[in-house]
Amino acid sequence: MTMREQIASIAHEVKQPLAAIVANADACLNWLGTDQPDLARARKAAKRIVREGYRASAVLSSIRALLESPVPAMSAHRIAGVEMDF
């Protein structure tokens, strides 16, 4: 996978929960902004916001863990009489 493809994949993984957070927050504000607020629907939307926030956080934590992982050491090996350098 190219660097560009990796970045696009990461951006997609982060953008999805953020889009869900915005959509649910907008819905929550609409349900709370009426003369008779729909508290049950607003509460469900708030729970989805929290869930998606944790999801976005998990994606970022995974990315951080990948970046902090030590790079495996490479060395020369002889296999069946053939020397290979990595």
Averaged pLDDT of the chain:
87
pTM here is 0.69
> What is the average pLDDT across 11-40?
95
**Res. 65: pLDDT tops 70:** yes
CB-based burial label for 39 (10 Å; 0-12, 13-18, 19+): exposed
Alpha helix (H) residue ranges in the chain: 3-32, 39-68
The pLDDT assigned to 23 comes to: 97
The pLDDT assigned to 62 comes to: 86
The pLDDT assigned to 85 comes to: 60
**Res. 72: pLDDT tops 90:** no
